[in-house]
Every structure is written in structure tokens, then in C-alpha cells.
Amino acid sequence: MSSVSILSVATASPPYRVDQAFAKEFMMQHYAGSLSPRLLGALEKVFSHPSVKQRHFALDDPETIIDEDPDSRIARFTRWSIELSSAAVTKALALAGVARDEVTGLVVNTCTGYLCPGISTYLIERLGLRRDTSAHDLVGSGCGGAIPNLRISAALANESEEAVVVSVSSEICSATFQMGNDLGLIVSNALFSDGAAAAVLRRSPNGLELVSSSNFLAPEHRDKIRYVYRRGELYNQLSTNLPLPVKRAVAQVVADLLMQRNLSVGDIRHWALHTGGEKIITAIKSEIGLTEAQLGPTRSVLENYGNMSSPTVWFVLKEILDKGIDKGDWCTMIAFGAGLSAHGYLLRKR
């Protein structure tokens, strides 16, 4: 009996693309008069950093986000989360050679908007999936949410030889846009973007074998990275002191994953690491002992997409897959975020 594998990974980005030079000009145009001199200088510096070149947003016009009312914001989240998720699922099923009526399970995670019933029900209707699909919606996992989703999806896929499960991460970070005299908001607005990803799982002798998983929670650092409600709207609360607790949490997850199979860092050829930002990537690199070559896919996704929250680690894994993985190669997926939490999965090419 084969164990569960990832058969395919697909991503979807909204068509509206913005380079950082335009984004900086836009922010200066609308907010220069309301920022303190110190934070105005910080905005100039952060938006000029070369680690991010461009990002994609679920907008038809960037002016949309200025003074967007809560009802319009959740409507935009609903429209684009469903649209991008549908596109990613459609591509993932095609890549896996799986028909829609073969899907038995669907797990969707998001943290940038709330729908009840969840995104999964919209996907079942939009894509014509079976009405007896085991559907689950996860909220509140932040940037690391793709991997808890993957663990649940793997459990569903392991229930029978016929089970086919689609794991979906969908985030419209622009639907949580806020601005003010807060360095965390300035950094967020220079880093975050929108996107979705989907993966197809089933028992198979092919694809990427799901070998083992690990997670580490540091709730004492919860307030360093989280969403908070203010006046009924989501605000991204982001500390500038994240690299230290994040690198320690990630190192704990990596150590646990490697210990389970008696592996070393040098045994892992491919690293699908979440694009948490340049300082965090560099901190993790030093803590674990990764090379620039191993971080190439992460830096590429950061440069071209920024940080899309939970789908980002799937974008990095897709880049690795597109470049090619040899049979027997080890790969890790590592994501981190709200909680403070870190999550990992050890994968092997079959």
C-alpha cells in the first residue's frame, strides 16, 4: 500500500501587478503628509530595499484601497479568494490528471477574511465538485497555515486508496490594508501581496512523498506577529524584533524533522522556505546553516511576489518542482507566522 504523496502543485496570482517603485510613489502620494519624519524616512528605505521587485494585488485600481469601507473590503476578499482558489485548483487537478468528480476531500485555509460558510463551499459550487466532498475551512493560522492544512489533508487522503484531497491556501492580504504612524504597518505594506495555491494529494507511488511533519508554538511571542481588530477592521500587528524568535522556532522544527529520520541539514537538497522578509530569511540561513543556493527559490519568490502569507510556501515549492527534483531527493517545506508558530514537512521525491 502506497503512502500519501503530493501529486501536483499549482498557483494563481491576480493580474494587477505593481513594482516597488510605483508602490513607493503611491504611498508617498497618499500618506507623506500624515507620517512623522522618522517614519517617512523608514517608508523610503523599506520600499527601496532590493529584495522585493514586484507584487500582485487583487485590485482593478490601486485607489480602491484608500478609504475602502468594510463591506466593500469583504466583498473584494470574497470575489478574489474564490476566483484565485478556483484557478489554482483547476490547474492542480489538470497537472495531476485527476477529474473533478474524483475529489473526495477539500481543505481551505485563510487568515485575511472571514466567510461563513467558508471558501470551500464556494469552490464546490464553482468547480462542480461532489456534494459529498469532505470540506473543511481553517482560519487563524497566519502565514504558516499551509502546513497545518497539509497535515489535515494528508490524514484525509490516507483514509482509503480512492481518496483524493485538494489542499488550498488563499490570501487577499490587500483586504487587510491599513496605514498609519506604525513601522509595522509600513513594513507590511512593502512586503505583503495576494495569491492562492492548491495541491492534490492521494496515495501514490509517484510525486512527493509526505514523510513526516513537525510544529513548534511560542505563544509568549503572540503579539509580535498577528492580526488585531481595531474599530471592526483587521490590522496587521508586526514587530520589528521577529528574526530572533522566528529563527529559534524554525530551528526547533528543522531539528525535529531531521531527527525523525536521522538526517542532517546537508542531506536536504531542497528547501521550500516561506518568504518572511529579508531579515528573517538571513537569520534562518545563519541559524540552520543554509547556503544561498538552497535559498534561491525563496529569494526568487520574495523578489517577484513578496509575501502572500500562507500560499507563499507553495509558490516556493512549485519553483523547486519546476526546476526539477531527482528521485530520492529530500525536500523540506517550512512556514512560520502568527502564533508565534513554525511548521514543517519533510518530503521525498519518488
Angle at CA 228, nearest 5°, toward 54 and 234? 55
Tell me, what's the pLDDT at 233? Answer: 86
Q: Does residue 1 have a pLDDT over 80? A: no
Residue range 42-50: mean pLDDT, rounded: 96
Residues 199 and 215 both lie in one domain: no
For 52-101, the pLDDT digits (tens) are 999 999 999 999 999 999 999 999 999 999 999 999 999 999 999 999 99
Task: Count the residues in the chain.
Answer: 350
Q: Please identify, among 156, 182, 203, the residue that sits at the C-terminal boundary of a domain.
A: 203
Residues 106 and 254 both lie in one domain: no
Q: Determine how many CB atoms are found less than 10 A away from the CB of residue 303.
A: 16
Query: From CA 73, how far away is CA 176, in angstroms rounded?
Result: 8
Q: For 236, list phi and psi in degrees, rounded to 5.
A: -85, 115
Residue range 96-120: mean pLDDT, rounded: 97
Which cell numbers in the block locate residue 95?
497537472
Residue range 182-205: mean pLDDT, rounded: 97
Q: Which of 75-79, 226-230, 263-267 has the lowest mean pLDDT?
A: 226-230
Residue range 269-278: mean pLDDT, rounded: 97
CATH of the domain at 281: 3.40.47.10
Query: From CA 62, how far away is CA 85, in angstroms rounded?
Result: 22
Tell me, what's the pLDDT at 232? Answer: 81
Q: Please identify, among 185, 203, 221, the residue that sits at the C-terminal boundary of a domain.
A: 203
Residues 139 and 216 both lie in one domain: no
Residues 191 and 75 both lie in one domain: yes
Angle at CA 140, nearest 5°, toward 208 and 102? 40
For 145-169, the pLDDT digits (tens) are 999 999 999 999 999 999 999 999 9
Q: Does residue 124 have a pLDDT over 90? A: yes
Residues 73 and 28 both lie in one domain: yes
